[in-house]
Amino acid sequence: MAKPEFSATALDRFLKSAFPLHGPLRKLTEGEESRAFTFDAGEYVFAVRVNATIEGFEMDRLICAALSGSAIPVPDVVLIASLEDARFACVSRRLPGDTLQALPKGGAFALGSAIAQTLDQIAGLDEAILHRLAASPLMSAQASWPDFVAKVARLDWQHASAGARTSIDRWTDLVAERVAELPQRRGLVHGDFGSNNVLVQQGVVSAVLDWSEARIGDPLYDVANILFWRSWLDCMEQQCRYFEQREPWRLAEREILTCYQLRIGLETLHEAFADDDARLIDWAMQRCTEIAARA
């Protein structure tokens, strides 16, 4: 998905109003959807993100409130506001650490245990917290977990080439065939775990960022996300190697992981075709081919 264009002047006016004594903006490593910066204001360091929609920021605020006091490090959302140019800004406290993607090649392997522990903490939230999340308007409006997985069968592939459609239809059928057999698990799913959404410092996970894709469902989906992106990013490859060498039991449910990886791949391809991102299209087609071959 293309990142939003925005007015730097509008952002500056907003920050001057909300944080009159703020320091200069410094660019942060960005995700796929938001523009991101950091700035100092008094004794605190903040991050500000700009997006074309507000829903993801509202989900961040919901998760922040729900996980307050838990062992999962989530930045405090300080302020969400609309800008003058029909964009939205979210200001949060900046937690320390480097993204997994910023680590030197091979560096993420040593953090495998810490990352796996964080996955377990997310997956093992207390039922009372899950109940509150599920009752919130943001979560209650979401489709059921089986419907979420099956949603890729309803994607419009008008931008895809005829040659790609043959493979896409086959992968869609593979996902649809598995939906009825999915486990009835009820846990918090981050939805885009890894790379730029995990900060680490001194051998531990210091922050889990960007909960815009969060939902209630099968937490194994977050493992599948790491597996799908392994050949795109070294930090994902190292986490996969850690699972394979140290905790192979996490990969035991191969058919379910294959279903989830293909679902992630189809959504990735859909966005890549819409954005005419040739590099990502070629890679995702090859990756889905590899995954489907093991189905």
For the stretch 94-109, pLDDT in tens is: 999 999 999 999 999 9
Active-site residue, from 85, 126, 192, 275: 192
Confidence band, pLDDT 50/70/90 cuts, at residue 241: very high
- Asked if 50 and 38 touch (Cβ cutoff 8 Å), the reply is no
Angle at the Cα of 104 from the Cα atoms of 90 and 32, rounded to 5 degrees: 30
The pLDDT tens digits of the residues spanning 110-121 come to: 999 999 999 999
- pLDDT, position 1: 52
Tell me the mean pLDDT in the region 146-163. Answer: 95
Domains and CATH numbers, the chain: 8-93 (3.30.200.20), 98-293 (3.90.1200.10)
CA 277/CA 7 separation, integer angstroms: 25
**How far is the C-alpha of 133 from the C-alpha of 60, rounded, in Å?**
12
Is 192 known to be catalytic?
yes
Other CB atoms within a 10 A radius of the CB of residue 42 amount to 10
The pLDDT assigned to 30 comes to 62
Predicted local distance difference test score (pLDDT) of residue 33: 61
pLDDT at residue 215 greater than cutoff 60: yes
Amino acid 87 reads: R
Q: What is the pLDDT of residue 2?
A: 57
R_g of the chain, CA atoms, integer Å? 19
Q: Which pLDDT tens digit goes with each residue over 14-33?
A: 999 999 988 999 988 765 56
User: Are the CB atoms for 161 and 78 separated by under 8 Å?
Assistant: no
Confidence of residue 92 (pLDDT cuts 50, 70, 90): very high
Q: What is the mean pLDDT of residues 114-129?
A: 97
What is residue 3's predicted lDDT score, i.e. its pLDDT? Answer: 60
Residue with tokens 């490593």: 29
Spatial CA neighbour of 86 closest among 63, 117, 53: 53
Q: Quick one: average pLDDT of 179-205?
A: 96
